[in-house]
A and B are shown apart, each in its own frame.
Chain A
C-alpha cells in the first residue's frame, strides 16, 4: 500500500497549476465566457508546449507517457481553476482510448496532433436516455469501404472544432467504435448550452459514411474500448470534481475568515465553520475514492466497482 505522489507527478501538478493559474484570472475567464465557445485556444497551446496534452500519449507519438494517473492530476487542476479546456473529452475520452484500442496507423495519425495541440479529437459517449456507450441506440451498417452510422449523440464537447469524434454504434455484427468526421455529409450539429456554461452539441447522424481506416474497434474489442472510455471518463470527471470542490471550499474558508458580521469574522461561528469542515471531510472522501479508481486504471487492473464508487461520491 503506497499513497506516495511521485516526484514526476508532483512536477506535473506544479506545472499545470502554474499554467492554468496564469490563464484563469477572473478577467480572462470573463472574456472567454463572452465567446460562443468556452474554449481558450491560447491556454490549450500553452498546455501543449508544456507537454501536458501528451501525459498519456506514447513518446513515439509525441507524448511524455506518464500514464493515466497523471492525466487525472491534470483534470483535477483544470477543475480547480475551472479552465476552459476540454481535457476530459479530448485527452481521456478520445486520446487515451485511442492509445489503448486504436490501430498503429490511427495512433500515428491522431495522437501526435492531439499532443501538440494542433488537432482536436473528441468523444461522444452519451445519447438521449442512455449513458451506456456499450449499448448505443445509434446504428451502423456495413458498406463497401467502411460503414454508415445513423443516430444521435448528445452534449458532445468541441464537436464543431474536432477533426474526429470517437463514438459507438450497434451493427448487425455487434458493437462498433468509429471516428466520425463532424464535417462529413449527413452530420448535423445543434448547439446545446449546459450547466457548466459550455456550448456542447447534439450530433445527429444520418447515414454518415465512415471509411474503414476510421473504424477503431469491433465486437468484443469495441465493447472493451467503450467500457474503458466510460470508466476513464468517469474517473477523470471525479478528479475534476475534486479540484472544483477543493477550490470552492478553500475560498469559502478564506472569505468567511475575512468577512465580519456582529463584530467578528463569520468563520468563528460554528454554524459556519462546521459546514466548511463537513466540506473538508466530503472532499477527502471524494479524493480517496478517485485516487483508488485512477491508480487501478493506471495499472490496467479491473476498476469497475471503484470507478462507480468514485462516481457516486
Chain B
C-alpha cells in the first residue's frame, strides 16, 4: 500500500501541465469569453486541438495499432486531470469514450475517416442518446432508422446533444426494430455527419452551458456509417458510459479552485480587520473542503488503479460518481460562501472574483449529479452490486 504517484507518474503530470500552458494561448482565453465558444468550437480552439493532434497528444490510451500509446488507466487519468485543470475544452467524450468504440466496430473506410480525423485533432463527435422522452430509461428511445437499400432513413429528435453545434458527427442511437418488446435489442449505432441534409439543431441555453436539441428529418445515411451490427447497439452504449465518467470527475479542476480561494482569502481584508482567512468559520469551510478533496483524489486514483488490475466493480464506479458529483456542488457552495456576495459576480462583469470561475461552476455543477447516469440510479446500483440488496422497484 503506497498511495502516491511514482516519480515517473509525477514527471508525466508535470509534462502535461507544462504543455497545456502552451495550448491555453491568450487568443484562446479571449475566444472562450464568448459564451458560444466556452465549450470549444471556435477557430482558436480548432487550431489548438489540431496542434495537440500533431504533437501526438490525442489518443494516448488507444492501441498502438490505432496510433495510440496504450497508456495505462493511471497515466490516462494523469493526462485527463491536467488537461481539465488547464481549462481547455478538450473533447474527452470524442477521444476517450466514443472513438475507441468506433475503432473497434466501424468498417475500414469510416474508421480511417473518423478515427484518423480524431487522431489529428480535426474531428469532434457529439453524443446523441437522450430524447425528450428517453433519459435515464435510455432503451425507450424512439428515433428510428429504416433500411432503404444501402442507406438508412433516419427520423427523430435528440435532446441535450452537447457540442453538436460544432461537432462533425453525432454518435446516434436509433431504433431499428420497432417491436416494443425488444427494447434493448432493437437499437443500432450510427455516425451522422452534421453537414448531411435533414440534420438541424436549435440551441438550448441552460443555467450555465449551451447545449442543443437536434433533429433528424428523412436523413438518407449511407450504410457505411452504421457502427456495429444491426440491433446490437446497446452494448456499444453501455460499454462507453463507464469510461465517460473517468473524464467527468478529476481532482485537479476542483483542487485548483480551492487553492485559488485559499489564496484569495489570505490576501483579502475581512470586514472587521485582518484577512478573510483569519476568521474561524472561513477556516472551517476550507478545512471541510480540503478533507473532501482528499477523497476525490483517492477515489479517482483507486478507480484507475483498479482498472489497471482488472474490471471495475460496478458499485465502486457508482460510489465515485455519486460522491464526486455531489461533493463538487458542495465545494462550489462552500467556497462561494467564503467569497460572499462578490463571489456571485459573473466573469464578464467588473469586480468578478477569480474571474467568476466558481460562480460559473456553481451554476453548471448540478449537471453532473444527473449527467453520466443519474445519482438515484447509481444508489440503486450501489445497494444491489455493493450490498446484494434486492432490486428496487
Q: Which residues of A contact B (CB under 8 A)?
A: 1-6, 9, 69, 249-250, 253, 256-257, 265, 267-270, 273-274, 276-278, 280-281, 284-285, 288-289, 291-292, 294-295, 298-299, 305-306, 308-309, 312-313
Interface centre among B74, B302, B306, B382 (most CB of A within 10 A): B382
A-B contact sample (9 more), CB < 8 A, given A268-B393, A295-B1: A1-B9, A1-B74, A253-B389, A274-B383, A277-B322, A284-B319, A288-B295, A288-B299, A313-B291
Q: Are A285 and B323 in contact (CB under 8 A)?
A: yes
Q: Are B295 and A285 in contact (CB under 8 A)?
A: yes
Q: From known contacts A273-B389, A312-B291, infer whether A281 and B382 are also in contact, taking CB-CB under 8 Å.
A: yes
Q: Are A277 and B3 in contact (CB under 8 A)?
A: no
Q: Is the interface of A mostly helix, strand, loop or mixed?
A: helix
> Which single member of A269, A288, A312 contacts B287 (CB below 8 Å)?
A312
> Which single member of B1, B291, B376 contacts A309 (CB below 8 Å)?
B291
Residue of A whose beta carbon sits closest to that of B382: A277
Q: Are A250 and B387 in contact (CB under 8 A)?
A: yes
List 29 A-B pairs, Cβ < 8 Å.
A1-B4, A1-B5, A1-B6, A1-B301, A2-B2, A3-B3, A5-B1, A250-B387, A253-B389, A265-B390, A267-B392, A268-B390, A270-B380, A273-B380, A273-B389, A274-B376, A274-B380, A277-B322, A277-B378, A280-B383, A281-B322, A281-B382, A288-B298, A289-B291, A289-B294, A294-B1, A309-B291, A312-B287, A313-B295
Q: Mark B369-389, 1 if CB is under 8 A from A, else 0.
A: 000000010111011001111
Q: Is the interface of B mostly helix, strand, loop or mixed?
A: helix
4 closest A-B pairs by beta carbon, nearest first, are: A253-B387, A277-B379, A273-B383, A288-B298
Q: From known contacts A267-B390, A295-B3, A299-B2, infer whether A289 and B383 are also in contact, taking CB-CB under 8 Å.
A: no
Answer yes or no: B223 CB below 8 A from chain A CBs: no
Q: Mark B280-322, 1 if CB is under 8 A from A, else 0.
A: 0000000110110011001101100110000000011001001
> Which single member of B290, B291, B319, B390 contacts A280 (CB below 8 Å)?
B319
Q: Are B299 and A276 in contact (CB under 8 A)?
A: no
Name the distance in Å between B47's Cβ and chain A's nearest Cβ: 35
A276 to B393 alpha-carbon distance, docked (Å) = 16
> Which single member of B299, B319, B323, B392 contacts A273 (CB below 8 Å)?
B392
Chain B residue numbers with a CB within 8 Å of A250 are 387
A1 to B392 alpha-carbon distance, docked (Å) = 37
Chain B residue numbers with a CB within 8 Å of A4 are 1
Q: Are B315 and A280 in contact (CB under 8 A)?
A: yes
Name the distance in Å between A12's Cβ and chain B's nearest Cβ: 13
Name the distance in Å between B143's Cβ and chain A's nearest Cβ: 30
A305 to B323 alpha-carbon distance, docked (Å) = 21
Residue of B whose beta carbon sits closest to that of A298: B1
Residue of A whose beta carbon sits closest to that of B308: A1
A265 to B387 alpha-carbon distance, docked (Å) = 14
Q: Are B298 and A274 in contact (CB under 8 A)?
A: no
Answer yes or no: B205 CB below 8 A from chain A CBs: no
Name the distance in Å between B387's Cβ and chain A's nearest Cβ: 4
Q: Are A291 and B294 in contact (CB under 8 A)?
A: no
Name the distance in Å between B133's Cβ and chain A's nearest Cβ: 22
Interface centre among A3, A256, A312 (most CB of B within 10 A): A3
Name the distance in Å between B254's Cβ and chain A's nearest Cβ: 15
Name the distance in Å between A91's Cβ and chain B's nearest Cβ: 19
Residue of B whose beta carbon sits closest to that of A286: B295
Residues of B68-120 at the interface with A, using a CB-CB cut-off of 8 Å, are: 74
Q: From known contacts A257-B389, A285-B295, infer whether A3 and B376 are also in contact, taking CB-CB under 8 Å.
A: no
A177 to B295 alpha-carbon distance, docked (Å) = 35
Name the distance in Å between B361's Cβ and chain A's nearest Cβ: 22
Answer yes or no: B391 CB below 8 A from chain A CBs: yes
Interface centre among B1, B4, B391, B392 (most CB of A within 10 A): B1
Q: Are A1 and B2 in contact (CB under 8 A)?
A: yes
A214 to B392 alpha-carbon distance, docked (Å) = 61
Residue of A whose beta carbon sits closest to that of B78: A1
Interface centre among B323, B387, B388 (most CB of A within 10 A): B387
A285 to B298 alpha-carbon distance, docked (Å) = 8
Q: Are B295 and A289 in contact (CB under 8 A)?
A: yes
Residue of B whose beta carbon sits closest to that of A252: B387
Chain B residue numbers with a CB within 8 Å of A268 are 390-393
Q: Are B379 and A273 in contact (CB under 8 A)?
A: yes
> Which single member of B386, B388, B393 contacts A257 (CB below 8 Å)?
B388
Name the distance in Å between A130's Cβ and chain B's nearest Cβ: 19
Name the distance in Å between B311's Cβ and chain A's nearest Cβ: 15
Name the distance in Å between B198's Cβ and chain A's nearest Cβ: 41
Name the distance in Å between B1's Cβ and chain A's nearest Cβ: 4
Name the distance in Å between B79's Cβ and chain A's nearest Cβ: 15
Name the distance in Å between B329's Cβ and chain A's nearest Cβ: 15
Q: From known contacts A289-B298, A292-B294, infer whether A1 and B305 are also in contact, taking CB-CB under 8 Å.
A: yes
Q: Are A276 and B5 in contact (CB under 8 A)?
A: no
Name the distance in Å between B221's Cβ and chain A's nearest Cβ: 40
